[in-house]
């Protein structure tokens, strides 16, 4: 149970499930292993399995709020909003002042169109926490749905008054101004949202719309480009950029955009028709005819489609087909003349849009093929309707140092930062093939897959036999310590590292990993018991003095390998935990003397300077970290620079 919770805390979800399975097999009457297994499944997007496990946990112990909370989130992901509300009702009886529960229940009521019930929940939430800005933003969305623009503006501006550094507040104010057709104000709001946000495509896509309404087509296209750099799969960005490219005659690149849209949604007939028009203009008449035909099959009364197909058929010499299309158009026009009232009113209804230049994404009136797409009321910019909050889903960027470096076999792939961390002794170990895998130096460790976990459990048995046969070989004991570390059995990893150090006091990788394992044990002791939202006295048992043993091991690494830069870095991190910031600065300085492109050292030195009140130097270091690929540094910089007035 301890190892499973440890794995869960360090986001090794597949491995944690295997441990909880063992607990459930041994003692199926316990509630906790079902809850923790459900939490792991939720994080792996197995929402049905998460719901089932939480139900088992609640059946055994109906007084744990976290079980209702996670089951509620799992039900939301399955669109079972009534079931989720039932869970939040039960949880609120146990914790009536839990902000997250009120937040999520209000969102569920909105999805069920119970706007008054949602408002009542938000009013209660604001009574409990008057400075909770998201409640004002959600309430403003309800106000807009109910056409109460005055109250909607009040709510957004109240949120802005409370927290002017939250990009979502600026984005919400911009959407209010867009709806009110105050496009210049919307653009200014979105400037602020972009200034404060971390690589978020939404404000760029929205600002492009604001610029389009001000006839700034070049600026709109530039914003679509920027938004699509951040989110290459954004449907609205590709569709609208395709339309704008078509308007300025950039036909081939417009076709690329519509190809992408149709890859995402092959049933989008308006994108199909737009691509047909562009293929027609670029001389691919057969391709154009194919697209026109696809649309006509779905919309047999779309006369403009017949007209375009007739023209394309003439260009390839299919005069019979063209004549049939023209005859279809002529007959429809005659019918319309004979029944003018019905057809005219129907046409007016079809084209009755809030804006002559835009349409909702859900709009299926093919006559609006040449209008820019905007998000429906329950998607895209209306984020708060999907922003269900909970410990397992709360992914807001927090201001915290970059993690410690480890010796491991697995590393998460990063599209942005692809630095290879090298040290000669580690590379020599890899060349000698004394370990089961290639050892990496990384602070971006990857969780094990199920197959990898099985591999390391098997490796533990193999290394145990090897240690018995070759007790003098320290690398075998170190290899088994790594196996234990990877399967989150930190206690056994510590024992093997202790033995390795006793056996070979000059083997510095053992000291380095023992410091890391001990640090993780202390981190879990300090915070790991809170994965289920339960605060226990054990959480507060860790003191700065407990990290002295970690620091001593890193001191020994530096004594044995004075050019091993990662030991200085890890020691700086430990000193930050111990609140010894000036000592940490010395270690980060040492890192950067050895390696002037050590992004993580710049990042952590920047934060440490900020902790000491040296904001100017801190921002310079964070800027350098961002330049070297740690883009989250820019978000922190923005938090310490005032928003432009």
The tens digit of pLDDT for each residue in 138-169 reads 999 898 888 888 898 899 999 999 988 888 88
pLDDT at 345 over 50: no
pLDDT at 60 over 90: yes
pLDDT at 25 over 90: yes
pLDDT at 572 over 90: yes
The tens digit of pLDDT for each residue in 415-445 reads 555 567 889 999 999 999 889 999 999 998 9
Class assignment of domain 406-447+506-639? mainly alpha
pLDDT at 323 over 70: yes
Note the pLDDT of residue 353: 42
Note the pLDDT of residue 644: 36
- Give whole-number Cα distances, 373 to 311, 367, 600, 604, in Å: 28, 13, 41, 42
Note the pLDDT of residue 341: 56
> Which of 396, 362, 365, 356 lies closest to 382 in space, CA to CA?
362
Confidence category of residue 340, pLDDT binned at 50, 70, 90: low
Note the pLDDT of residue 119: 94
**Percent share of the chain, pLDDT over 70:** 88
pLDDT at 529 over 60: no
pLDDT at 251 over 70: yes
The tens digit of pLDDT for each residue in 187-232 reads 999 999 888 877 788 899 999 999 999 989 889 999 999 999 888 8
Higher pLDDT, 279 or 336: 279
Note the pLDDT of residue 346: 44
pLDDT at 505 over 90: yes
pLDDT, mean of residues 55-60: 96
pLDDT, mean of residues 534-556: 72
Higher pLDDT, 626 or 66: 66
Which three-class secondary structure string do you get for 509-562?
HHHHHHHHHHHHHHHHHHHHHHCCCCCCHHHHHCCHHHHHHHHHHHHHHHHHCC
Which three-class secondary structure string do you get for 499-512?
HHHHHCCCCHHHHH
pLDDT, mean of residues 257-286: 92
Confidence category of residue 639, pLDDT binned at 50, 70, 90: low
Confidence category of residue 447, pLDDT binned at 50, 70, 90: confident
Domain span(s) for CATH 1.25.40.10 in the chain = 233-389, 406-447+506-639
Element (H, E) at 407: strand 406-408
The tens digit of pLDDT for each residue in 448-482 reads 888 999 999 999 999 999 999 988 889 999 999 99
Alpha helices in 352-434 (DSSP H): 424-432
pLDDT at 349 over 50: no
pLDDT at 348 over 60: no
**Percent share of the chain, pLDDT over 90:** 59
pLDDT at 37 over 90: yes
Confidence category of residue 396, pLDDT binned at 50, 70, 90: very low
Note the pLDDT of residue 536: 44
Alpha carbons 343 and 358: distance in angstroms, whole number: 23
pTM of the complete model beyond 0.75:
no
Higher pLDDT, 33 or 364: 33
**In CATH, which superfamily holds the domain spanning 233-389?**
Tetratricopeptide repeat domain (1.25.40.10)
pLDDT, mean of residues 244-270: 91
Judge residue 508's burial from the number of C-beta atoms within 10 Å of its C-beta, 0-12 exposed, 13-18 middle, 19 or more buried.
buried
Confidence category of residue 640, pLDDT binned at 50, 70, 90: low
pLDDT, mean of residues 632-643: 65
Beta-bridge partner residues of 442: 406
pLDDT at 541 over 60: no
Note the pLDDT of residue 630: 80
The tens digit of pLDDT for each residue in 295-313 reads 999 999 899 999 999 999 9
The tens digit of pLDDT for each residue in 224-241 reads 999 998 888 888 999 999
Alpha helices in 339-374 (DSSP H): 340-351
List Cβ neighbours of 358 (8 Å cut-off, separation of 6 or more).
209, 371, 372, 373, 374
Confidence category of residue 356, pLDDT binned at 50, 70, 90: low
pLDDT, mean of residues 335-347: 58
Alpha carbons 496 and 490: distance in angstroms, whole number: 10
> Which of 6, 7, 42, 5 lies closest to 449 in space, CA to CA?
7
């Amino acid at each position: 149970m301890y190892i499973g919770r440890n794995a869960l805390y360090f986001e090794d979800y597949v491995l944690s499930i295997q441990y909880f399975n063992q607990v459930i097999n041994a003692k199926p009457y316990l509630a906790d292993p079902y809850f923790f297994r459900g939490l792991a499944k939720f994080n792996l997007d197995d929402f049905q399995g998460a719901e089932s496990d939480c139900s088992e946990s609640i059946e055994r112990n109906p007084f744990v709020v976290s079980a209702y909370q996670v089951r509620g989130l799992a039900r939301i992901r399955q669109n079972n909003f009534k079931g989720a509300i039932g869970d939040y009702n039960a949880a609120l009886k146990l914790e009536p002042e839990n902000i997250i529960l009120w937040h999520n229940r209000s969102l569920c009521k909105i999805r069920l169109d119970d706007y008054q019930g949602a408002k009542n929940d938000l009013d209660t939430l604001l009574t409990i926490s008057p400075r909770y800005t998201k409640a004002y933003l959600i309430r403003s969305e309800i106000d807009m749905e109910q056409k109460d623009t005055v109250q909607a503006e009040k709510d957004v501006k109240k949120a802005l008054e409370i927290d002017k550094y939250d990009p979502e507040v600026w984005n919400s104010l911009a959407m209010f101004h867009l709806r009110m057709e105050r496009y210049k104000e919307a653009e200014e709001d979105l400037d602020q949202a972009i200034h404060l946000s971390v690589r978020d495509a939404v404000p760029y896509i929205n600002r492009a719309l604001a610029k389009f309404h001000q006839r700034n087509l070049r600026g709109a296209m530039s914003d679509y480009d920027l938004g699509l750099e951040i989110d290459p799969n954004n449907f609205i960005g590709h569709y609208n950029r395709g339309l704008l490219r078509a308007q300025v005659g950039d036909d081939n690149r417009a076709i690329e955009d519509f190809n992408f849209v149709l890859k995402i949604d092959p049933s989008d007939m308006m994108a199909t028709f737009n691509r047909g028009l562009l293929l027609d203009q670029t001389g691919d008449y057969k391709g154009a005819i194919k697209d026109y035909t696809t649309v006509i099959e779905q919309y047999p009364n779309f006369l403009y489609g017949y007209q375009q197909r007739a023209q394309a058929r003439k260009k390839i010499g299919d005069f019979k087909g063209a004549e049939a299309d023209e005859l279809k158009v002529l007959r429809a026009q005659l019918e319309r003349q004979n029944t003018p009232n019905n057809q005219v009113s129907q046409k007016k209804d079809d084209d009755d849009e809030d804006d002559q230049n835009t349409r909702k994404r859900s709009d299926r009136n093919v006559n609006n093929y040449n209008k820019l797409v905007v998000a429906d009321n329950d998607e895209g910019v209306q984020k708060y309707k999907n922003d269900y909050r909970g410990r397992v889903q709360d992914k807001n960027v927090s201001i915290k140092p970059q993690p410690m470096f480890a010796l491991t076999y697995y590393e998460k792939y990063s599209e942005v930062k692809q630095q290879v961390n090298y040290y000669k002794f580690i590379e020599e170990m890899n060349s000698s093939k004394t370990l089961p895998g290639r050892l990496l130096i990384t602070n971006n460790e990857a969780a094990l897959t199920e197959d990898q976990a099985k591999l390391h459990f098997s490796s533990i048995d193999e290394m145990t036999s090897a240690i018995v046969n070759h007790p003098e070989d320290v690398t075998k004991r170190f290899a088994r310590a790594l196996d234990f570390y990877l399967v989150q059995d930190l206690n056994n990893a510590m024992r093997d590292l202790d033995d390795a150090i006793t056996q070979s006091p000059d083997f510095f990788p053992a000291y380095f990993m023992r410091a890391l394992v001990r640090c993780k044990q202390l981190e879990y002791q300090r915070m790991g018991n809170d994965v289920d939202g339960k605060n226990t006295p054990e959480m507060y048992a860790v003191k700065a003095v407990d990290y002295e043993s970690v620091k001593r091991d890193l001191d020994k690494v530096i004594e044995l390998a004075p050019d091993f830069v990662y030991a200085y870095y890890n020691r700086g991190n430990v000193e930050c935990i111990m609140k010894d910031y000036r000592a940490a600065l010395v270690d980060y300085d040492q890192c950067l003397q050895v390696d002037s492109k050590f992004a993580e050292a710049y990042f952590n030195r920047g934060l440490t300077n900020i902790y000491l009140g040296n904001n100017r130097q801190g921002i310079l270091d964070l800027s350098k970290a961002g330049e070297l690929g740690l883009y989250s540094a820019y978000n922190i910089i923005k938090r310490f620079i005032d928003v432009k007035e």
